[in-house]
Amino acid sequence: MTAPLLDVRDLCVAFRSRRGATPVVRNLSFSVGAGETVAIVGESGSGKSVTALSLMRLIEREGGAVTGGEMLFRPHDGPAVDLARLDEPAMRAIRGNAMSMIFQEPMTSLNPVLTIGEQVAEVLLAHRGIGAREAERAALAVLDEVQLTDPERRMRQYPHELSGGMRQRVMIAIALACRPRLLIADEPTTALDVTIQAGILDLIRALQQQTGTSVIFITHDMGVVAEMADRVVVMRQGEHVETARTADLFAAPQATYTRALLAAVPRLGAGAPIYAVPRAGRAEDAGDTGEVLRVEGLVTRFPIRKGPFRRHVANVHAVEDVSLTLRRGETLGLVGESGSGKSTIGRSILRLVEPTTGRILICGRDVTGLSQQAVRPLRRHAQMVFQDPYASLNPRLPVHELVTEPLAIHDRLPAPARREIAAELMRRVGLPADSLDRYPHQFSGGQRQRLAIARALSSRPRVIVADEPVSALDVSVQDQVIALMRELQDEFGIAYLFISHDLAVVERMSHRVAVLDRGRIVETGPTDAVLSDPRHPYTRDLLAAVPVADPALRHGPRRLALRERRSPINPVGFTPPAQHFAEAGPGHLVAV
């Protein structure tokens, strides 16, 4: 092998604070050959993003510094330079030119007041020494390369006029405009829907083949790694764990940590849980059908108001004619991409948003006609767990008050009694009971989600609506939280409405699934039946787009039908045509 394009040796990075330097990357060594794709994987806090920023020497902006080691890079044919020792002007000549970077958040990494054309032309002007006219022509060519539709028009548009996927394409165009030798992609698809992600991954791969660029792919997603990388560097808490060829890593991981990480990755096709009527039945439930939630013809629309008189000009059709049922101890997975209305369904059921029409029965009680005041006592039967464990817990409440809040509300229990129950709940969700006086910020993300579950559990609800409860967590933590939720289900016979965009997670949790597209259920049925035998084209697209954590099953370039996303905004009084379902198997319904 010829000398590598990038050779990192014993890299150390530290953040300085008043309490001294905190090392975040320790003695990391790896290399990237020409045209090679190397993935750096790890969970949060592993130092993978810090490594990427250090290579670009952007880490100084974040308050960190390279404290040791070298990063030998060949910006052009000839001798390598040590990136760790370059001064700022020399670094500037490399950034965006010989080495460039794509960031995670396509919504904020473009400047909102400059047109797309200006932003792409900017790098060309900075590094190519060409005129404005020429740069514009070159920018147009690059936008065409990243397969943006109608590039002439995009040139004149501003970032807010583009969707997330289109913006990420623009970011890639900017990164590749000067034909860099090395592209660093820091979680470039994490914020995107799976079908959009599939398109972006295909694009990066195609461009890499065309231009011979090397790629460092930073990700937490083993599926993406299996799809993209030639070699993998596994990191944990700032330390190098293992480097291996992708196929070898997945086939025979050497390090214990890598094995645990791979074992925790939810894999699509691993099989769904089988529903059994739970033993934990209650006396008053005996003899009934066990149905704890029934939703009939739920429609939720949000009015759009304009003008000085706030005239009602149109409706956003968030949920259209959704019906579902949930039995005791059962999990129904709601799957869909962003904007599919899955969260709105959950929130409508709990009357956190007002449904437009439809009937919702919780434990047989119709809650649709009730006033907010009358709904309140019923809330004890249906609790919710939210996605963001950082924002969904009041930072000012100590844990013992936080997890027993439903009891304070519904049973008006005095503080000492609540404290006792809180200790019991903490034990049940696997948190130390002596942490009752701590505050939410003193817990990690996974622990916080356990707190949220404990809170939901405290009023002994029949139904818990879990809105992306594990999406913000690392895979290993994700795995534990899912296991906990299933345990609690067996023990208490709780029914979950499990909302997620992640098909593999939904499969692990759900007895049945419902696939949502633009506010409607397009396919529903037993999890195994729907996932192994998808009938609706949308379900098929969704399944095809999921990256598989197995390099042997790597997708070829996918031909996903590029569906034009129809706007969910309709004029007032518009009623969409009714939906009809065909039966594809026992309980397996497909929209026709």
Partner 1 sequence: MVHTTLSAPPAAPSLLHRATRLGAGLADVWADMNWIVRFTAVLGLVLVVLALAAPLIAPFDPNAQSLLSRLKPPMGLAGAKDGYLLGTDELGRDILSRCLHGLRLTLGVALLGAVIGLLLGGSLGLFAGIAGGRVDDLIMSLVDIQIAVPFTLVALLTVALLGGDLTVLIAVLGIAYWEQYARITRGEVLRLREMPFIEAARAAGASGWRIAVKHILPNLVSPLVVVFTVNISNIVLLESTLSFLGLGLRPPTATLGAMVGMGRDYLPSAPWIVAAPALLILLVTFVIQMLGDFLRDRTDVRLRER
Nearer to partner 1, 179 or 438 (CB): 438
Please state the closest distance from residue 469 (CB atom) to partner 1, in A: 12
CA distance linking residue 369 with residue 372, whole number of Å = 10
* CA atoms in the 13 A half-sphere facing the CB of 315: 17
- Asked if 383 is part of the footprint of partner 1 (rule: CB under 8 A), the reply reads yes
Please state the closest distance from residue 295 (CB atom) to partner 1, in A: 17
CA distance linking residue 245 with residue 39, whole number of Å = 10
- Three-class SS of residue 115? coil
- Asked if 380 is part of the footprint of partner 1 (rule: CB under 8 A), the reply reads yes
Contacts of 552 (CB under 8 A, 6+ apart): 247, 250
CA neighbor of 550 nearest in space, from 269, 271, 255: 269
| CA of residue 367 relative to chain centroid, distance | 32
- Asked if 580 is part of the footprint of partner 1 (rule: CB under 8 A), the reply reads no
Nearer to partner 1, 72 or 422 (CB): 422
Q: Copy the structure tokens of residue 183.
A: 């592209």
CA neighbor of 528 nearest in space, from 549, 513, 539: 513
What would you report as the CA-atom Rg of the chain, rounded to the nearest whole angstrom? Answer: 26
Please state the closest distance from residue 109 (CB atom) to partner 1, in A: 24
Tally the residues of the chain. Answer: 592
Nearer to partner 1, 119 or 383 (CB): 383
- Asked if 245 is part of the footprint of partner 1 (rule: CB under 8 A), the reply reads no
- Asked if 379 is part of the footprint of partner 1 (rule: CB under 8 A), the reply reads yes
Q: Other CB atoms closer than 10 Å to residue 326's CB: what's the count? A: 24
Nearer to partner 1, 400 or 450 (CB): 400
Please state the closest distance from residue 237 (CB atom) to partner 1, in A: 16
- Asked if 470 is part of the footprint of partner 1 (rule: CB under 8 A), the reply reads no
Please state the closest distance from residue 394 (CB atom) to partner 1, in A: 5
Query: In the range 329-358, which residues lie near partner 1 by CB under 8 A?
Result: 347, 350, 352
User: Strands of 311-327's sheet, edge to edge?
Assistant: 365-366, 357-362, 291-306, 311-327, 569-571
Query: In the range 96-135, which residues lie near partner 1 by CB under 8 A?
Result: none
- Binding part of the chain for partner 1, among 25-33, 190-198, 276-284, 371-379 by CB under 8 A, reads 371-379
Please state the closest distance from residue 461 (CB atom) to partner 1, in A: 10
First-last CA distance in the chain: 56
Q: Alpha-carbon torsion 94, 97, 98, 103, what sign? A: positive
- Binding part of the chain for partner 1, among 108-116, 202-210, 376-384, 548-556 by CB under 8 A, reads 376-384
Helices (H) and strands (E) in the chain, counts: 20, 23
- Binding part of the chain for partner 1, among 124-132, 170-178, 253-261, 395-403 by CB under 8 A, reads 395-403
Nearer to partner 1, 10 or 437 (CB): 437
Contacts of 189 (CB under 8 A, 6+ apart): 168, 196, 197, 200, 201, 224
Q: Other CB atoms closer than 10 Å to residue 186's CB: what's the count? A: 21
Nearer to partner 1, 8 or 350 (CB): 350
Please state the closest distance from residue 400 (CB atom) to partner 1, in A: 8
Q: Alpha-carbon torsion 473, 499, 196, 123, what sign? A: negative
- Binding part of the chain for partner 1, among 94-102, 123-131, 141-149, 391-399 by CB under 8 A, reads 391-399
Nearer to partner 1, 291 or 388 (CB): 388
Distances (CA, A) of 29 to 57, 81, 453: 17, 16, 41
Nearer to partner 1, 24 or 513 (CB): 24
CA distance linking residue 442 with residue 397, whole number of Å = 12
Among residues 22, 108, 442, 575, which is the contact residue for partner 1, using CB under 8 A? 442
- Binding part of the chain for partner 1, among 3-11, 64-72, 381-389, 529-537 by CB under 8 A, reads 381-389
Nearer to partner 1, 390 or 581 (CB): 390
Contacts of 561 (CB under 8 A, 6+ apart): 537, 541
Among residues 119, 459, 489, 539, which is the contact residue for partner 1, using CB under 8 A? 459
Please state the closest distance from residue 23 (CB atom) to partner 1, in A: 18
Binding mask 478-497 for partner 1 (x = CB under 8 A): --------------------
Q: Tell me, what amino acid is at 150? A: D
Nearer to partner 1, 54 or 447 (CB): 447
Number of residues that bind partner 1 (CB under 8 A): 37
- Asked if 232 is part of the footprint of partner 1 (rule: CB under 8 A), the reply reads no
- Asked if 384 is part of the footprint of partner 1 (rule: CB under 8 A), the reply reads yes
Nearer to partner 1, 203 or 429 (CB): 429
Q: Copy the structure tokens of residue 335.
A: 């799957």
Please state the closest distance from residue 573 (CB atom) to partner 1, in A: 25
Q: Going along 204-290, which residue ranges are E strands?
A: 214-219, 231-236, 239-245
Please state the closest distance from residue 365 (CB atom) to partner 1, in A: 14
Binding mask 396-415 for partner 1 (x = CB under 8 A): xxx-x----xx--xx----x
CA distance linking residue 490 with residue 541, whole number of Å = 33
Nearer to partner 1, 395 or 557 (CB): 395
CA distance linking residue 192 with residue 164, whole number of Å = 7
CA distance linking residue 357 with residue 344, whole number of Å = 14
Among residues 452, 473, 477, 545, which is the contact residue for partner 1, using CB under 8 A? 452
CA neighbor of 264 nearest in space, from 475, 36, 21: 475
Q: Copy the structure tokens of residue 391.
A: 């924002």
Nearer to partner 1, 167 or 418 (CB): 418
Among residues 149, 394, 532, 567, which is the contact residue for partner 1, using CB under 8 A? 394
Angle between helix 415-428 and helix 445-458 axes, rounded to 10 deg:
120
Residues making contact with partner 1 (CB under 8 A): 347, 350, 352, 373, 376-377, 379-380, 383-384, 386-388, 391-398, 400, 405-406, 409-410, 415-416, 419, 437, 439, 441-442, 452, 455, 459, 465
